[in-house]
Amino acid sequence: MRIALAQLNYHIGNFEDNTQKIIDTIAQQELAGADLVVFSELCVSGYPPRDYLEYQEFVEQCEASAHKIALACTKVACIIGLPIKNDVLAGKDLYNAAYFIANGRVEQVVRKALLPTYDIFDEYRYFEPAQTFKCVRYKNHTIALTICEDLWNLGDNPLYPSCPMDELMKESPDFMINIAASPFSYQQYQERTFLLSANCRKYALPLFYVNHVGAQTELIFDGGSLVFDKAGDVVAELKYFEEDVQLFDVEQVQASIVLNREAKSTSDIEEIYKALVLGIKDYFRKSGFKSATLGLSGGIDSAVVCALACDALGAENVLGVLMPSKYSSEHSIKDAEDLASNLGCKHTLVSIEMVADAFESTLAIEFAGLSPDLAEENIQARSRGVIMMAMANKFGHILLNTSNKSECAVGYGTLYGDMCGAISVLGDVYKTQVYQLADFINREKERIPINTITKAPSAELRPDQKDSDSLPDYDVLDKILFEHIERRKSAKQITADGFDEMLVRRILSMVNRAEFKRYQTPPILRVSPKAFGMGRRMPIVSKYLS
């Protein structure tokens, strides 16, 4: 028996394209000699469909697409993922399901039992968990078919009271198939591989695992579908960050023959780079836009975002806007110009001095007798925001936000100024990681000017301003933020790790006070295990950590 794993990039709610892509793949794999073609979780609708699932028409279109796909399966079988109606009145209205299709019709329905409701996942909001389990039988093979989280309930502290595979093992399956939508983070590969391998060892069965690839706004799916033998060793690995379809012989997998291993990146930074490029590319493609604009300050953040955008969209589709103020240094302008020259993207210069002066003149009576402070600094940042949004509107660009995770965490940014944009590229990348990204981008030649990398970071909103005037050294700040955000440690726990107590409490208080800003920022491309946005939900008006 030959099984094709189809790791494809879907578009949420684009039923025509998703369905045709699936049908075309079935036809291609039929010619290649496949007996069964396996697609990923909720491939028909795209993942995650979120509140589209509350619309009856959306679910009906999923079913109509499945019917079209079934008509293409007369000589080969397939497995697809889609939401389906729950015919029982009690419970949620839908199931997260898989259709096993053969002979031109749906032969069997498998429903997901374990519904993740943590971090970025919210499946119990929509779906009823399965209560009954049955293997799929096809071509003299018994297949234990599960959906994503159904294989994730292992370890010393399982999240769910039962495992679907324990029930399916009663039918003595020959191998497992798991269809998934497992988003990327730079730690996910290790956890994913470990858990899937542990299932193979526990049940002494081979596993065919197929994942999504592509970005859906914040979420980035890295692909990397896998085949394991019964000992839990990886015998085949599909590509990362791109579509891939590969055909496997079940008997070879059962014999533990190594079929194919994709060269896996060992560097977190290289993984983050690839994820961000894919995230930008798919955000534009799936939104129907081609060109990007961003402010170029001569600083490290905007330089890295510009390089990523050029790699994702082509340099000809990126416009950098230099917006110097009376506090901007000559080297900042030159660094930005050198960057644009190195990358080959378009750039223009629009001074904000007259704009900011106009605001200050307008407010002169109201501000009379008061010394310049944060209000005047923010006027400059918001002047830039107005200009950038005007450029985006006039020329049909998408504005890229360049704030990093360190700044987002402590609120070191101006709402409606440097925090505006349609998508935040670095909002889940700490400042220290931004420097590592710059080094990676420059791995073959100097694309980001060396001076941009080596100079002290500054917002340049007042004379001789440096980030260090307001923030601790980024090496220290990022370590404390990581312990608090990713590892969810309290001030007491972080202090016990050797950090200064007053500094820790100050930083955690800044994080807490900045929550109102993060509620109003663009969606952030997720690359870490705990990103700001849909996976981290905090109250705005709270006392804890204040």
- From the CB of residue 30, how many other CB atoms can be counted at a distance below 10 Å? 18
Q: Are 144 and 165 in contact (CB under 8 A)?
A: yes
Distance CA 338, CA 448 (A): 8
Residue 109 CA: distances (Å) to CA of 293, 314, 473: 47, 44, 56
Q: Tell me which residue has tokens 């950038």.
A: 388
Within the chain, all domains assigned CATH 3.60.110.10 are found at 2-264
Q: How many helices (H) and strands (E) does the chain have?
A: 17, 19
Q: Which residues contact 541 (CB under 8 A, 6 or more apart)?
A: none
Q: Are 139 and 35 in contact (CB under 8 A)?
A: yes
Q: Which residues contact 502 (CB under 8 A, 6 or more apart)?
A: none
168: nearest Cα among 210, 122, 199, 212: 199
H helix or E strand, kind and range, residue 165? helix 164-168
Structure tokens at 55: 């619309």
Annotated binding site for ATP: 295-302, 402
Set 43, 62, 135, 148: catalytic member: 148
* CATH class given for the domain over 270-467: alpha beta
Strands 346-349 and 318-322: parallel
Three-state DSSP state, 107: strand
Annotated binding site: 118, 182, 295-302, 378, 402, 407, 517
Three-state DSSP state, 312: helix
Set 21, 112, 274, 281: catalytic member: 112
Residue 461 CA: distances (Å) to CA of 6, 252, 267, 330: 51, 64, 36, 14
Residue 118 CA: distances (Å) to CA of 124, 406, 439, 530, 535: 10, 23, 34, 11, 8
pLDDT at 546: 63
Q: Are 86 and 94 in contact (CB under 8 A)?
A: yes
Q: Tell me which residue has tokens 């590592």.
A: 436
Give the chain's radius of gyration (CA, Å): 26
Distance CA 139, CA 425 (A): 47
Please provide the DSSP assignment of 6-27 as one string.
Answer: EE----TT-HHHHHHHHHHHHH
446 carries an active-site annotation: no
- From the CB of residue 178, how many other CB atoms can be counted at a distance below 10 Å? 28
Within the chain, all domains assigned CATH 3.40.50.620 are found at 270-467
The overall pTM is greater than 0.85? yes
Work out the angle at residue 375's Cα, subtended by the Cα atoms of residues 374 and 377, and round it to the nearest 5 degrees.
60
Q: Tell me which residue has tokens 């894919």.
A: 278
148 carries an active-site annotation: yes
Set 30, 41, 123, 149: catalytic member: 41
Report the Cα–Cα distance between both ends of the chain, in Å, rounded: 61
Strands 105-111 and 94-102: antiparallel
Query: What are all long-range contacts of 456-461, with beta carbons under 8 Å and residues at least 24 apart?
Result: 457/299, 457/300, 457/431, 458/299, 459/377, 459/381, 459/418, 460/297, 460/325, 460/327, 460/328, 460/329, 460/332, 461/325, 461/327, 461/377, 461/380, 461/381
Annotated binding site for L-glutamine: 118, 182
Q: Taking the chain (546 residues) in consecutive chunks of 10 residues, what is each chunk's mean pLDDT?
A: 98 98 98 98 98 98 98 96 96 97 97 96 97 96 98 88 95 98 94 96 97 98 97 95 97 84 76 98 97 96 98 98 81 92 97 93 94 92 96 96 97 94 98 98 97 81 68 94 96 96 95 95 96 93 78
Q: Are 208 and 40 in contact (CB under 8 A)?
A: no
Annotated binding site for deamido-NAD(+): 378, 407, 517
Structure tokens at 476: 């220290």
CA atoms within 13 A on the CB side of 109: 14
Choices 3.40.190.10, 3.60.110.10, 3.90.120.10, 3.40.50.1240: CATH for 2-264: 3.60.110.10
Q: Which residues contact 474 (CB under 8 A, 6 or more apart)?
A: 406, 430, 431, 432, 457, 467
CA atoms within 13 A on the CB side of 247: 13
Residue 353 phi, psi (nearest 5): -60, -45
Residue 200 phi, psi (nearest 5): -60, -45
Q: Are 319 and 453 in contact (CB under 8 A)?
A: no
515 carries an active-site annotation: no
b/e map 40-69, b = 16+ CB within 10 Å: bbbbbbbbbbeebbeeeebbebbeebbeeb
Q: Tell me which residue has tokens 């939401």.
A: 83
Q: Are 305 and 400 in contact (CB under 8 A)?
A: yes
Residue 134 CA: distances (Å) to CA of 18, 146, 300, 453, 456: 28, 10, 55, 58, 62
- For residue 306, which amino acid is it? C
Q: Are 517 and 413 in contact (CB under 8 A)?
A: yes
Q: Across-strand partners of 260?
A: 236
